[in-house]
Each structure stands twice: as structure tokens, then as C-alpha cells.
């Protein structure tokens, strides 16, 4: 069964060439290996239109999402920092996102995690789960900025983490930490704050 992609779905534009010698993080599979696995799923599901165009990308900007499907770009983004913690679950996440792409083509207008998507997951040998239970500690981006201010030497460091390591050699008791919202006004307030 072949399907024609909707007009809104186009093959990815040619981007920068991949370095075939680039090491993957923590022994993770290469993007090319992941694309081959996605093509196996598309063949099994009868979605041959995706075979030549699929692109799988390790995306370090993902924080707690294991993966994300981008149907218009025919891309799957996977989170290397999270999946390095649970490498045995990479195939499950890849199939989950590939099933989203296939569902868009096979069943336009269907629900995001609907029965059509669930059927594809089961055909590929995975339980259709909407969310993951992977350990995400330390991966969330802070909703605040933190100013680490040493009253001994005056060193100032604005960080994402209240527990960030100190940079100066002064007694840690001399460092105060101030918090502000993670926005332009919060950053400006921390930049104006002085030892007082």
C-alpha cells in the first residue's frame, strides 16, 4: 500500500553533510543506523513514500522529551542525553516517533496517539505508550537564572543552576545565590545586583 504525502509534507532540504566518522554519544547508534531501522518500520507498515526521505537526528536541545516527530520535515529528533540513560529503550522511542509520521500519511486527521498509531506500534512489537517513565533528573531547564555572588572577591556568575560549582577560591560561605525569573527582566535584575 503506497500513500502520497500531503502537500504540506516535503522531503527535508539538503542540509550540512553528516560526518560519517563523528562519534555518537555514549555508544548510541548512529543517525544512519536509526534511519535504517525507521525504514524497516515504514516498509512493514506499507509507507514506502517515507523510505527515501526520512531523517533521524540526535537533538541535544530536547530536555525531557525522549523524541519528537516532525511530519512536515519528515524528521525524527531523539534526545541523546536522556536515551543514553536508557539505551535499551531507543528502539521503542524511535518506533513511537516513526509511527507518528506514518499515521499522518496513512490516516490524515487521526488523533495524535489514536488507535491507528497504537496499531502501528503493536505491529512493530512495542506497547503503545503515550509517555515515558525514563529518569529525567538534571535534564530539565531551569525556569530561573541564579546569580552566584562572592562577597569576598566580588566574582559574579549567572547560571542555570542554584547548585552550580563555585568559581573563585574564597570560602564557599561568602557566596550568596540570588534567583530571578528566566526572562529578559530577570537577567537584567541579576546583572544590576551588586555586593551590598
CATH code for the domain of 59: 3.30.2010.10
DSSP-derived 3-state class of residue 177: strand
In a domain? residue 83:
yes
Strands of the chain (E only): list them.
55-58, 67-70, 75-78, 144-150, 156-159, 175-181
From the number of C-beta atoms within 10 Å of its C-beta (0-12, 13-18, 19+), residue 192 rates as exposed
Distance separating alpha carbons of residues 173 and 151, to the nearest angstrom: 9
Would you put residue 59 in left (φ > 0), alpha (ψ -120 to 50) or beta?
Answer: beta
Expressed as residue numbers, the domain containing 32 is: 25-123
From the list 76, 74, 108, the residue with the least C-alpha distance to 93 is 76
Opening angle at CA 59, ends 21 and 46, nearest 5: 90
In a domain? residue 102:
yes
In a domain? residue 17:
no
pLDDT band at 155 (very low <50, low <70, confident <90, very high): confident
Q: Do 111 and 55 belong together in one domain?
A: yes
Q: Note whether 50 and 58 are within 8 A (CB).
A: no
Q: Note whether 139 and 126 are within 8 A (CB).
A: no
User: What pLDDT was estimated at residue 44?
Assistant: 95
In a domain? residue 164:
yes
Most confident of the following: 49-53, 75-79, 179-183: 75-79
Q: Do 36 and 110 belong together in one domain?
A: yes
Residues noted as catalytic: 97
Q: pLDDT of 60-117, one tens digit each?
A: 888 889 999 998 889 999 999 999 999 999 999 999 999 999 999 899 988 889 999 9
Q: Note whether 64 and 139 are within 8 A (CB).
A: yes
Which residue is listed with cell 545586583? Answer: 193
Kindly give, in sequence order, each residue whose CB lies less than 8 Å from that of residue 156, ignoring residues fewer than 6 positions away.
Answer: 147, 148, 149, 150
| Among 62, 93, 123, residue at a domain's last position | 123
Q: Do 29 and 118 belong together in one domain?
A: yes
Q: Do 94 and 153 belong together in one domain?
A: no
Kindly give, in sequence order, each residue whose CB lies less than 8 Å from that of residue 116, ignoring residues fewer than 6 positions away.
Answer: 103, 106, 107, 110
Q: Do 40 and 98 belong together in one domain?
A: yes
Q: Do 106 and 165 belong together in one domain?
A: no
- Give the sign of the dihedral formed by CA 30, CA 32, CA 33, CA 34: positive
User: What pLDDT was estimated at residue 14?
Assistant: 39
> For residue 20, is pLDDT > 60?
no
Amino acid at each position: 500500500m503506497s500513500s502520497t504525502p500531503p502537500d504540506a509534507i516535503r522531503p527535508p532540504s539538503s542540509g550540512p553533510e553528516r560526518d560519517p566518522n563523528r562519534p555518537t554519544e555514549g555508544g548510541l547508534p548512529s543517525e544512519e543506523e536509526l534511519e535504517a531501522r525507521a525504514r524497516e518500520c515504514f516498509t512493514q507498515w506499507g509507507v514506502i513514500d517515507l523510505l527515501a526521505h526520512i531523517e533521524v537526528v540526535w537533538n541535544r536541545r530536547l530536555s525531557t522529551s525522549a523524541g519528537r516527530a516532525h511530519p512536515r520535515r519528515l524528521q525524527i529528533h531523539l534526545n541523546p542525553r536522556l536515551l543514553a540513560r536508557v539505551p535499551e529503550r531507543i528502539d521503542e522511542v524511535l518506533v513511537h516517533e516513526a509511527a507518528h509520521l506514518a499515521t499522518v500519511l496513512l490516516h490524515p486527521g487521526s488523533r495524535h496517539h489514536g488507535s491507528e498509531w497504537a496499531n502501528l506500534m503493536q505491529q512493530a512489537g512495542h506497547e503503545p505508550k503515550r509517555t515515558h517513565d525514563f529518569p529525567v533528573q538534571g535534564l530539565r531547564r531551569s525556569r530561573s537564572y541564579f546569580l552566584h555572588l562572592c562577597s569576598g572577591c566580588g566574582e559574579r556568575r549567572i547560571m542555570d543552576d542554584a547548585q552550580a560549582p563555585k568559581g573563585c577560591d574564597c570560602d564557599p560561605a561568602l557566596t550568596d545565590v540570588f534567583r530571578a525569573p528566566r526572562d529578559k527582566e530577570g537577567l537584567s535584575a541579576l546583572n544590576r545586583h551588586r555586593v551590598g
